[in-house]
Chain A
């Protein structure tokens, strides 16, 4: 489905350059969730953005190959890339409030995306928009179409972002810290929605997260990034229980320091 080969991102500054991503290679199979974990500055967001060249160039230079549905995106024309972004490859970011346009209604934003990336037009596009708002759990979807982003809570905005991402029927969803900015009880709801959508549509997901528990709940495989390098990659259970790299071991030690006492309840 997606094959990334020796992807590097270098940011050129005045007199110095930073290698944010250093020869990273991985694949994502159909219906698979791959997570990238690591601390801030480790390069995980740069990977997510570099896949569709969503980085300002300069200062960034991207090298390597990104094979998506048989084509190398690094050699695709700007028009072809624009068609892929938000279409076959959809993004959901950490801050829904800054991802949505504050002066346009949900209808304008959702319908625009649908008309741009699918054959649906006019009333049909609007019908699809309502359908997706309902699927992501927004009550009174038809009425809420005329609302502006600020009339939604953070969790609801993230639901709108997921509707917008899903409405174009992507084959790859890139979710960059999709629950980090939300309150803890809302995080669970959004994560559950993401997992349910992934299962229902057999989506490929690249999940960027700093939280190993989030990864454990929804990812199949996980890659650990440190200082731009992918230091370890494997099935989630293997990485969590038999980490090989010292950095991964550290992350897991911190996680176990912060675990809750086990409860004797029937569902766990």
Chain B
């Protein structure tokens, strides 16, 4: 049996809404509602859903940026929330995150080299010349010229910034990579290049990938499995081809028709 690298068991996140001057409780919002999913080495799972369905909140729970109200996340079978400090650092290293907007997720005052050195320093991975060498390797892996090492984020294009975001995530050799809408703010051709790069990286290193997107076409081109999220819940998941050709849930059917821009089948929604 293959061990799950990342395992989320019935995680939920509930927010309380407050209203009026006295901040009275105006009900709760279930952003993520009892979601269970797991990733093993070499897995590529696509998570699709429309804006507001809870996919980003789920991603933040998986990397430990948001604490779930119920349920638990296990990394290599261990709970990061309950682990000791040093143990937690090594567990967190295993799961890395790539954000949608590379401009806002990079420090504008740090050069590419500094950005890529930081995770190496935090996890004590390489020092001195070895660290510089490691930065060059990372640039090569995301196909950026070595001359970009001294540049600031504003001196890079959108696609180049996203490559830096990916290199930063890859710096600590993660076992799981979570990408939240990594191509949503990029041009079609640049997005396609990022997808190709991700495909190559996952195949080489057998890094597990959770690819979050509203774009079913991008998900289908990259992932072996797809999970569909709606109003906080995972409503359907399965192997990509089977799910796309024989969707069981009407909402999945609706998403497929939307992705192919089927204008002639009337929608009830």
Contacts and interface: CB of A to CB of B under 8 A. Distances in A.
Interface string B190-205: 0010010000000000
Main SS at interface, chain B: helix
Given A184-B259, A258-B217, A258-B218, 7 more contacts: A39-B189, A191-B263, A213-B260, A254-B189, A258-B192, A258-B215, A261-B241
Given A258-B220, A260-B216, A251 B188 contact: yes
Contacts of A258: 192, 195, 215, 217-218, 220-221
A222 to B, nearest CB: 15
B256 interface: yes
B245 interface: yes
Contact of B263 (A188, A260, A262): A188
Contacts of A263: 244-245, 256
6 contacts: A183-B51, A184-B215, A188-B258, A213-B261, A258-B217, A260-B256
Contacts of A141: none
Interface size class of A (residues with CB under 8 A): 20 to 34
Interface string A254-268: 110111111110011
B269 interface: yes
B29 interface: no
B192 A254 contact: yes
Contacts of B255: 184-185
B121 interface: no
A195 B188 contact: no
Interface in B89-119: none
Interface in A31-88: 39-40
A259 B217 contact: yes
Interface string B169-200: 00000000000000000011100100100000
Contact of A188 (B217, B220, B257): B257
A184 B256 contact: no
A217 interface: yes
Interface in B198-246: 214-218, 220-221, 240-241, 244-245
Contacts of A250: 189
B28 to A, nearest CB: 22
B196 to A, nearest CB: 8
A257 B221 contact: yes
A164 to B, nearest CB: 23
Contacts of A183: 50-51, 214
Interface string A119-142: 000000000000000000000000
A156 interface: no
Interface string A180-219: 0001110111011001000000000000001101101110
A214 B260 CA distance: 9
B146 interface: no
